[in-house]
Structure 1
Amino acid sequence: MTFVVVQNSNNDTMTRRELHQAWGTQKEKLKLKFAALTDTDLLYPEGMETEMISKLALKLGKTKEEVYQIIKAI
């Protein structure tokens, strides 16, 4: 298992492992917070964090930084 770090420009970090392990709970909270999100929007293949965050940013009209902060806060 690799421990690659996902980091934004504010130097907030979380390992991909941390993100992946908590994703089941986080995606349900995201769907509650943003009704426009679907299960398909929240598919998270391991190793595809950057692509997923970019896709969510586009769907929500937010920056990748904002999406990262939302996920980290949940």
Structure 2
Amino acid sequence: MEINRNIINNNFKIIGNWAVNSRLLKNKFSQLTDFDLKFDEGKEIDLLDRVGNRLRKNREEVMDLIREVNLS
């Protein structure tokens, strides 16, 4: 089970316009900072961890939030 969770986390990719999506996340969660939302390609896990720490959410919850923003 833990191995499957790690595979999912490692396969998560940011899609769409991150500048727009990060602004939407920041508007929804005012406690997020520019540093929390800084994204470097290939460093999705770091982004998930920073946002998760700030919002007190696990990686799966953060991935769901990002997916929601992508759909809006």
Q: Would the TM-score normalized by the shorter structure come out above 0.5?
A: yes
What does residue 63 of structure 1 align with? 58
With the length of structure 2 as denominator, give the TM-score of the two structures. Answer: 0.74
Greater percentage in helix: 2
Normalising to structure 1: TM-score of the pair? 0.72
Gaps of 5+ in 1: 1-5
Gapped runs of 5+ residues in structure 2?
A: 1-6
* Partner in structure 1 of residue 26 of structure 2: 31
Identical-pair percentage: 32
Q: Which has the higher strand share?
A: 1
1:24-63 per-residue CA deviation (whole Å, 9 max, x = no partner) reads 1110000000000111111001110011101111110111
Determine the structure 2 residue equivalent to 1:44: 39
Divergent runs of 4+, >3 A? none
Which one has more relative contact order, counting CA pairs under 8 Å at least 6 apart? Answer: 2
Aligned residues: 62
CA RMSD in angstroms, aligned pairs only: 2.0
